[in-house]
Structure 1
Amino acid sequence: MPLKRRGPLQLVQGEVDEVKRRVESLEKNVKSSSGSKEEAFHRCQELRASAEKTLKTLQKLTKADELAPVGNYDQRKLEEERRLQNILERLVTLSLELSPPGPSTQAGNVSKGDTDNNSDDDNSDDFEEDINSDGKDDGDGRTSEKPPSQSAPQIYTVLSDFKAEQEGDLSVQRGEVLKIIKKTADGWWLAQDAKGNRGVVPKTFLKIGPGVDVEHDEDDEDEEEEDDDDDEDEEDDELQQSEQEEEEDEDQTDDGNKSKASNWSTVRKALTEIDTTDVLSAMGAIPSGFRPSTLSKLLAEEGERYRGSHYIQPQLSQSQLSFKDLFLDPDTGKVRARQVRICVCFSLWSCKMIPTPGVGVQVLSRHIRLCAFDGTQVLSNIHTVRASYTSKSPKTWSFSPRMTSILPTVLDGDCFLRCNSLSPDIGILFELGVTFLRNSTGERGDLSCGWAFLKLADDSGNPIPHRTYELPVNGGTPYEKDVMLEAPLSRRSPGGVFQHMLHARRQPKLIVKLKSTNSRTRTQLSLLPDTLLHCLSCFHLLVLHRQLLADTLLMDRPTMQNADIICSPILSTFPVLLDQTDLLDALRSAWLEAETNMSRAQKRDLSYLKQEFSKVYMSSVYFLLRSPSLPSYRWADPPSEEQRARFIYTTLEALKNNQQTTSQSLTPAVFFNSSHSHLAFDIQELTFDLLCVTR
């Protein structure tokens, strides 16, 4: 009977077992001091190269390479990767122990300040004193922390090339492994390389643990290495340019050390932002097509510009003397409807075959950020819808789950978009993202899992039909093209039609349904600002706010040129609700309950609706906003979200019971009740500043 052929994963497992056996044998020889250190060091380097090559081969394997189906393939592959990582850590530690002493005991390999005050003969003594001292350095303000214990050496991998600037720095190259001898508070760490050389390097150039960034198989990946070299050269040029600017600033500053420290903090911050994804990719924690989230970065860096709270404010005309998108109908007293070029309603249905982050990363939120986009710039606010998933099918995202109570806004995939841009390429940009937490460092971040784009007009400029669209999800950023989330078919796998059909079914997709609406909904949407993207279930609240805004700005002001501060707690605080959706849900719940007690005639009476809306707002959301017990809003923070939800529910129930016992709506007396605590009074909670909020 012929022997059964072994698959690629089994072959790699055999190689890992062989490398582990040889490493254990080498460790025994080193402990027993049998043989020379030079020979043991040479064997250690060979084993390390072999382990890195095996790990590189393992990371390239896919399930399609196997000759037969393999159960728990991903789990088995991760286990082998962990085994190889542990072997590499042991080899790096052993290599540093066996490495011959380098020129670190020579002159000038400590701090930059000592080189100016001491002679060449005293530099060696100063270096030994610096290692054993408590870290107080008079030269450049670097204060050291407690050195790492020798039983658990700190092993780091260099993320980018660093060239020594001054005497005492250590030149390192990308992929090199260093042993950290001493950490300092300013970020310049004393390190030792594999050759025994010692010096200081910036901590932002390092990542913890041994890495496999150095390529050993140059023949197979020459093009990738050339691209990496170009990127590194660009980063080095930018780094050198920034360092030259810092040196010029130092010449003009009295305290040069403080100036350099402040400038280096900016460089370190930029390098950290750039290398976060690279570090996670090297760890195998994220797929290759993932990128830092573009839309999350806009929300974080641009402030109010891309938030819904900015777009619901009125927009001034070109003359700055009137409004561009807010008018009253003189016959009815209502906000005048405005037709825009793009007004669509759509539903996020599901996402399929979305890659999942690997080990070492905890996912706090899976979501889609969406906005109007024309291929070059964002044309509306950025709206976020959180996705649901099950552990049985983590690659499938779903939206709008069925709930007994009202569906939270953040989970509602039914949205509308109003946009008046004249761009022929306008459409909806969908960025699939995750908010993650690194288990090792506690670092939070936002990653893009891919993006999709739905163009809302055909080549002739006509609107696309209302139907369900399956949009391909691309990797990279919206400004990158032809970046795949999944690896292409292996060359060794059969290339038949059936195989390609299976491959097509495994491609990531986003399913979106473009739907039509009734005349009443279209009429209500026409009362909203010209540009806005939000949840359909909340548009009636936005319409009431819009009506109050028009009454205050167009009817109650003495003249249209009057720009005095207006006393209106609703107008001054309502925009906050679009950025804190749980408060918007609280207002929606309270208003829904109030509507159930209205008659049909009352629901048709606009003046009555505005009066009741003001009462409901003041007796629910405004009370919550002024409560010091409400935790601060933080995106994708489960403990904070649970505390806020619990507090909002209990407070609204208490206010409701109070109104039922007193048989009247919330009165100002409740704000003076000793049983309720409130934030200190701030005049901004009552004032609506027209000049500051208008766009």
Structure 2
Amino acid sequence: MPPKARGPLQLVHREVDNIRGQLQSLLKDVQNKVESKEESFRRCTELKISAEKTLKHLTKLTKADEIAPVGHYDQRKLEEVGRLRNILEQLNNLSDKLSPPGTSAEPDPGDSEKEDSEEETEESDEDDSDEAANDENQKNQSQAVNAPRESEPCIYTALSDFKGDQEGDLTIQLGETLKIIRKTSDGWWLAENTKGERGVVPRTYLKIGSNLNDGKDEDDEEEESDETEEEKEESDELSNNDDDKQSCAPKTNWSTFRKALTEIDATDVLSAMGAIPSGFRPSTLSKLLEEEGDKYKGSRYMQPELSQSQLSFSDLFLDPDTGKLIPPRLRSSSQVRSRQTRTCVCFTLWSCKKIPKPGVALQVLSRHIRLCAFDGIRVLSNIHTVRATYSSKKPRVWLFSPRTSGVTPSLLDGDCFLRCDTDNPGLGILFELGVTFIRNSTGERGDLSCGWAFFKLSDDAGNPVPNRTYEIPVCGGTPYETNVDVEGAPSPPSTAGKFYQMLKAQRQPKLIVKFKTPNSRLKTQLSLLPDTLVHCLNCIPLLAMYRQLLADALLVDRPTMQNADLIFNPVLAAFPALVDQPDMLDAVRTAWMDAHSTMKWSQKREEAQVKEKFTQTFLSSVSLLLYSSSMPPYRWADASSEERRSRLISSTLEALKKARGKTGSLEALTDPAATHVAFDISEMTFDLLREAR
């Protein structure tokens, strides 16, 4: 049987593997000093010339050169370009070390004089971006990212109609030819049509090439490259104006994503270095948490929500007969009025499988999952984070809810719930797998998305999904990109058979989630929480208690419903801040569990006594910790800060536990060693006008 013919791209792949093998051998010989410097320099120069020739040959290849259809051709070609550039970068560094005094490490001009202006611009931009990353010079970095990649043409054709719904969007029609000014990893590209109008369009609506000018020569491409370089400043100004306009748009996340048009995308540099696998992107949900203030934090969703008239509350109601907080669907004790359908589900994060690892150039500080309610366009709830446990023996597996001797920390607890009051049929849960890292060479800190998964909570008929265990496939890119594979998942060929589907299912990264039905007690406590919230199940009793105290202060103790004076209540003033600090929330839970266990059964049946006991426990534990000058500020994925906070919390709770019930119980609060920050009235008062949503 004759051997199967190989396509040009596959042959280039083998050549790159061969060059990479020779490079590894050369590096090993240089390290072991097997040969002289002159001989090593000669081998390095020959290998560099071979790599440059292969790169030039690769950039001229097109999909039409293949003898058989190749799936994801452009993506595979870009991967080979990235590998070759990484090899050339290593060869340049090695050549600088080996070159004798007065000898240039650059290849002969004749070997590169055929490079077109677009390739030269890209190489210089990439070199500038690498040097800027090492020098932490953001200005040079932003200039390096602005130019489109040399291996991707600037001219694209619209695959479908797209109507711009917001300012800054570019409305396009099927078959329209567009020039791409700037490409970003979030999937929204800055484009210009034939009329000179500019705006952002989704990359999934575009295909490479032009229907009108498929046969244009290289000179035209060089002119377009020059025009693109001249128009950078103008497009930067346009992007900034678009961001200002977008910030006024209600209930949208596009303004945050479009800031990437004028910011350096760290993944470009890391991808060129081979430090991150394909499919990794800057974390979308982390960016929302950092740039949108408290808009997507749990503390904001715990605050009372005003009704449309701004004169009452839409999520706080008391039973006038019992004085207890009742579910929002009960308007009064004598009448039941149903509100719009709300979603309430409980689920457990079990594990993630086949998740690729970042490269050795990055030090991973945290592996975690961020989750929220999502309808395919907007984030509809707070963003909750669950940290994964990781073992070097199984580097591609993430686990959740580890077995501990005591209470499971809320940061590691994979038992979660989601409540959302939207009636959108496309509502689901967005899971973003992410890592927080430090770049070893520069000390740069950042967040990457290792992939994302979306689970729709209803079927096509609108019925809730059954409670069972699901294996949700993990996709690469961002939630606004489609058909992006994570490294390790095979790309689909043009004709995929059953065998390929089985192979892909086996290699596809997966998130395993189990949905379950809550018991009656848990359902009652969940009904007391805000209409929209995502959090862990073990904190529900604390959250429900806070909502009960909030209802008492706002609906019972206020002189009139129109009174908006400051309310003296340290619990209401301090508790929301703890929702965003998992270790402090665990401290409240531990202290309350100990105090509740000492209460008599008759006391537990009295709602007033339970509230009073909770208030006393809160003031004698968390208030001491929250306003202690020794307590370092909470910082995500900071090991030293987390360790110091943990030691201080543990020692303080242990001291309070020993002093409880004794005559010297106030010694821990009046200890001269326990210094406090300067007093502020906001520590003791609840401001309704400032905190209400």
Asked if 2 retains the 8 angstrom alpha-carbon contact of 1:16 and 1:51, the reply is: no
Write out per-residue CA displacement over residues 506-539 of structure 1, whole angstroms, 9 at most, x where no aligned residue. Answer: 1011111110011111011101111111110010
Q: Distance in 1 between matches of 2:428 and 2:239?
A: 43
Alignment-derived partner of residue 337 in structure 1: 327
Label 1:317 to 1:469 Cα distance change in 2 as closer, same or farther (>3 A). same
- Relative to the length of structure 1, the TM-score reads 0.70
Cα distance in 2, alignment partners of residues 484 and 10 from structure 1: 22
The TM-score, its normalising length taken from structure 2, stands at 0.70
Equivalent in the alignment of 2:93: 89
Aligned amino acid, residue 357 of structure 1:
P
Contact 2:319 2:326 in 1 (8 A): yes
How many corresponding residue pairs? 550
**Secondary structure of 2:294's partner?**
helix
2:140 aligned partner: 202
Aligned residue identity for 1:473: V
Match of 1:313 among 290, 294, 303: 303
Structure 1 residues 289-308: aligned runs within 5 Å: 289-308=279-298
Q: 1:410 is matched with which residue?
A: 411
Encode CA deviations 1:631-676: one digit per residue, 9 max, x unaligned: 1100011111111101110111122223354265xx5x76444232
SS in 2 for 1:325: coil
Contact 1:304 1:310 in 2 (8 A): yes
Shift of 1:205: 3.8
Q: Does 1:231 align with 2:232?
A: no
| Residues in 2 aligned to 1:294 and 1:462: alpha-carbon distance in whole angstroms | 29
Which amino acid counterpart does residue 298 of structure 1 have in structure 2?
L
Shift of 1:575: 0.4
Alignment of 1:100-119 (within 5 A): none
How far, CA to CA, are the matches of 2:83 and 2:141 in structure 1?
30
Q: Which amino acid aligns with 2:389?
A: S
Q: Which deviations, in whole Å up to 9, do the C-alpha atoms of 1:232-274 show, x marking residues without a partner?
A: 98585873216668999xxxxxxxxxxxxxxxxxxxx967843
| Match status 1:278 vs 2:268 | yes
Q: Which residue of 1 aligns with 2:689?
A: 691
1:575 aligns to what SS in structure 2?
A: helix
CA distance in 1, matches of 2:231, 2:371: 33
Report if aligned partners of 1:342, 1:420 keep a CA contact under 8 Å in 2. yes
Pick one of 49, 52, 59 that aligns with 1:49.
52
Q: Give the secondary structure class of the aligned counterpart of 1:306.
A: coil
Q: CA deviation at 1:80?
A: 12
CA distance 1:616–1:283, shift in 2 (3 Å): same
8 Å Cα contact 1:187-1:202 kept in structure 2: no
Q: Which residue of 2 aligns with 1:112?
A: none
- Measured against aligned partners, the alpha-carbon deviations of 1:160-217 in whole angstroms (never above 9, x if no partner) come to 999xxxxxxxx9544567699x99x99989xxxxxxxxxxx9354469xxxxx866x9
Q: Is the 8 A contact 1:361 1:439 kept in 2?
A: yes
Q: Once the 2 structures are TM-superposed, how far is the Cα of residue 386 of structure 1 from its aligned partner?
A: 0.6
Distance 1:569 1:188 in 2: 46
State the shift of 1:287 in Å: 1.3
Give the letter aligned to residue 676 of structure 1. A
**Aligned partner of residue 618 in structure 1, secondary structure:** helix
Q: Which amino acid letter does the alignment assign opposite residue 87 of structure 1? A: L
**For residues 496-515 of structure 1, what are the alpha-carbon distances to aligned partners after superposition, in whole Å with 9 as ceiling and x for unaligned?**
85565343211011111110
Partner Cα separation in structure 2 for residue 334 and residue 304 of structure 1: 29
CA contact (8 A) 2:366 2:437 kept: yes
Any conservation in 1 of the 2:141–2:264 contact (CA below 8 Å)? Answer: no
The SS at the match of 1:620 is helix
Q: Residue type of the partner of 2:280?
A: F
In the alignment, is the contact (CA less than 8 A) between 2:352 and 2:509 conserved in 1? yes
Q: Give, as a single letter, the amino acid of the residue that structure 1 aligns with 2:38.
A: K
Q: Separation in 1 of the partners of 2:403 and 2:519? A: 23
Equivalent residues of 2:55, 2:84 under 8 A apart: no
Secondary structure of 1:418's counterpart equals strand
CA contact (8 A) 2:364 2:438 kept: yes
TM-fit CA distance, 1:564: 0.6
Change (3 A) 1:28 1:304: same
Q: Which letter does structure 2 place at the counterpart of 1:241?
A: E
Q: Kindly tell me: are residues 457 and 503 of structure 1, through their superposed partners in 2, closer, same or farther at Cα, counting changes over 3 Å?
A: closer
| Structure 2 residue aligned with 1:240 | 233
Structure 2 counterpart of 1:127: none
The one-letter code sitting in structure 2 at the alignment partner of 1:49 is E
Residue of structure 2 in register with 1:613 after alignment = 614
Aligned-pair CA distance for 1:343: 1.0
Distance across 2 between alignment mates of 1:452 and 1:461: 20
CA contact (8 A) 2:372 2:382 kept: yes
> Where does residue 38 of structure 2 map in the other structure?
28
2-structure distance, mates of 1:324, 1:336: 12
* Residue segments in structure 2 that go unaligned for 5+ positions in a row: 1-12, 60-81, 110-116, 154-177, 185-189, 192-227, 242-258, 330-340
Aligned residue for 1:138? none
| Cα displacement (A) at 1:42 | 9.4
Equivalent position SS for 1:318 = coil
Could you tell me how far 1:422 is from its partner in structure 2?
Answer: 1.3
User: Cα gap change, 1:505/1:178 in structure 2, threshold over 3 Å: closer, same or farther?
Assistant: closer
Residue pairs, 1:242-391, within 5 angstroms: 273-339=263-329, 341-391=342-392
1:48/1:88 contact within 8 Å kept: no
> How much does 1:547 deviate?
0.8
| 1:117-156 alpha-carbon deviations (Å, 9 max, x no partner) | xxxxxxxxxxxxxxxxxxxxxxxxxxxxxxxxxxxxxxxx
Give distance in 2, aligned partners of 1:495 and 1:634: 47
User: Residues 512 and 490 of structure 1: is their aligned pair in 2 closer, same or farther, counting only changes over 3 Å?
Assistant: closer
Give distance in 2, aligned partners of 1:48 and 1:690.
67
Q: How does 1:635-650 map to 2 (within 5 A)?
A: 635-650=636-651
Q: Secondary structure at the match of 1:619?
A: helix
Q: Deviations over 1:460-512 (max 9, x none)?
A: 211111111111111111111111113564899x9985565343211011111
Deviation string, structure 1 residues 359-414 (Cα, Å, up to 9, x no partner):
20111111111111111111111100111121111111111010001000000011
Give the 3 Å change call, closer, same or farther, for CA 537–51 of structure 1 in structure 2. same
Matches within 5 A, 1:231-630: 231=183, 239-241=232-234, 273-339=263-329, 341-486=342-487, 489=490, 500-630=501-631
Answer whether contact 1:55 1:84 (CA < 8 A) is retained.
no
1:16 aligns with 2:23: yes
- The root-mean-square deviation of aligned C-alpha atoms, in Å, is 4.5
Change (3 A) 1:98 1:659: closer
Tell me, in whole angstroms, the C-alpha distance in 1 between the residues paired with 2:308 and 2:593. 39
Q: Shift in Å at residue 613 of structure 1?
A: 0.2
Q: Quick check: 1:591–1:613 contact (8 Å CA) kept in 2?
A: yes
Mapped to 2, the partners of 1:394 and 1:21 lie a distance apart of 27
Check 1:13–1:276 CA distance in 2 against 1; reply closer, same or farther (3 A cut): closer
Return the index of the structure with the highest Cα Rg: 1
CA shift in 2, pair 1:509/1:236, >3 Å: farther
Aligned residue in 2 for 1:257: none
* 2:104 counterpart SS class: helix
Q: 1:22 to 1:327 in 2, by over 3 A?
A: closer
Instruction: Please give the alpha-carbon distance, in whole angstroms, between the structure 2 residues aligned to 1:369 and 1:522.
Output: 24
1:202 partner letter:
N
